[in-house]
């Protein structure tokens, strides 16, 4: 590397370093200026406040201060009235919402009570109808059982009467047969059945007083 190049490099480095130092110095000066400006502003504000306090202590508030104070008081009163009106409006809305919710709840309870009563009434009617149908069924069964028992009794009586009549008929036939046998035993042996029948006829005619030729 030549001497000229080395010299140019060193010069460039020095220029860059000086530039950086200059930028840093300017930044520090600007920061210090801002800090001093802030301190001066604070000090001036303090002096102004002290002077205003001293003037207010000696001469009272200025007309501008009075107007400003009155304006602030009016603004405060307006804000308080506005806040009070807003609070009252919110309270009124809350009361209305509460009343509406209570009315809806009462209406809902009334509807539920009405539905429950209707359901109970329907259930009661269904139970009564079921009980009535059951009673009618029992009554019908009782009537059928009674009619069946009556029919069986009538049938039994008819059977008994029929059996009794048959027994009487058989008994009568047996009695007639027995009487015929007894009559045959007591009748003469030579008398024929035809003569016996003629003798019975004549005997019956004589008994009534109507012999042939007699009047």
Q: How confident is the model at residue 67 (pLDDT cuts 50, 70, 90)?
A: confident
The boundaries of the domain holding residue 42 are 9-60
Q: Cβ(143)–Cβ(136) under 8 Å?
A: no
Alpha-carbon span 67 to 75, nearest angstrom: 12
- Is residue 105 in a domain? no
Can you tell me the distance from the alpha carbon of 125 to that of 119, in angstroms, rounded to the nearest whole number? 10
Exposure on the CB side of residue 139, measured as CA atoms within 13 A? 6
The domain total for the chain is 1
Asked if residue 87 is part of any domain, the answer here is: no
- pLDDT score of 203 more than 70: no
Domain assignment present for residue 33? The answer is yes
Place of tokens 């609070």: 87
b/e map 7-39, b = 16+ CB within 10 Å: eeeeeeeeeeeeeeeeeeeeeeeeeeeeeeeee
Whether residue 13 is contained in a domain is answered as yes
The three state secondary structure string of 87-154 is: HHHHHHHHHHHHHHHHHHHHHHHHHHHHHHHHHHHHHHHHHHHHHHHHHHHHHHHHHHHHHHHHHHHH
Which DSSP category does 208 fall into?
Answer: T
Lowest average pLDDT, out of 67-76, 134-143, 163-172, 196-205, goes to 196-205
Separation of alpha carbons 12 and 156, rounded Å? 151
Residue 41 lies in a domain: yes
User: Do residues 132 and 138 touch, judged by C-beta distance below 8 A?
Assistant: no
Is pLDDT at 197 greater than 80 in this prediction? no
The pLDDT, as a whole number, for residue 188 is: 58
Q: Which two tokens stand for residue 139?
A: 């009554």
Whole-prediction pTM? 0.33
Within-domain flag for 125:
no
Q: Percentage of the chain with pLDDT > 90?
A: 56
Residue 30 maps to a domain:
yes
pLDDT interval class at 209 (50, 70, 90): very low
User: Do the beta carbons of residue 61 and residue 69 sit within 8 Å?
Assistant: yes
Q: Are 164 and 156 in contact (CB under 8 A)?
A: no
As a whole number of angstroms, the distance between CA 26 and CA 44 comes to 26
Residue 32 lies in a domain: yes
């Amino acid at each position: 590397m030549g001497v000229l190049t080395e010299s140019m490099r060193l010069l460039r480095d020095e220029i860059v370093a000086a530039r950086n130092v200059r930028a840093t110095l300017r930044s520090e000066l600007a920061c210090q200026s801002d800090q001093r400006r802030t301190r001066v502003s604070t000090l001036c504000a303090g002096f102004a406040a002290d002077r205003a306090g001293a003037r207010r202590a000696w001469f009272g508030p200025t007309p501008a201060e009075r107007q400003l104070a009155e304006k602030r008081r009016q603004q405060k009163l307006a804000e308080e009235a506005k806040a009070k009106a807003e609070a009252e409006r919110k309270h009124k809305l809350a009361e209305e919402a509460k009343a509406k919710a209570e009315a809806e709840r009462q209406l809902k309870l009334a509807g539920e009570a009405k539905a429950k009563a209707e359901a109970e009434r329907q259930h009661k009617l269904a139970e009564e109808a079921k009980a009535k149908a059951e009673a009618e069924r029992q009554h019908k069964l009782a009537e059928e059982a009674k009619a069946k028992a009556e029919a069986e009794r009538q049938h039994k009586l008819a059977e008994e009467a029929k059996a009794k009549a048959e027994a009487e008929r058989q008994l009568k036939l047996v009695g007639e047969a027995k009487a015929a046998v007894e009559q045959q035993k007591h009748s003469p042996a030579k008398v024929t059945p035809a003569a016996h029948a003629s003798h019975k006829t004549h005997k019956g005619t004589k008994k009534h007083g109507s012999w042939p030729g007699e009047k």
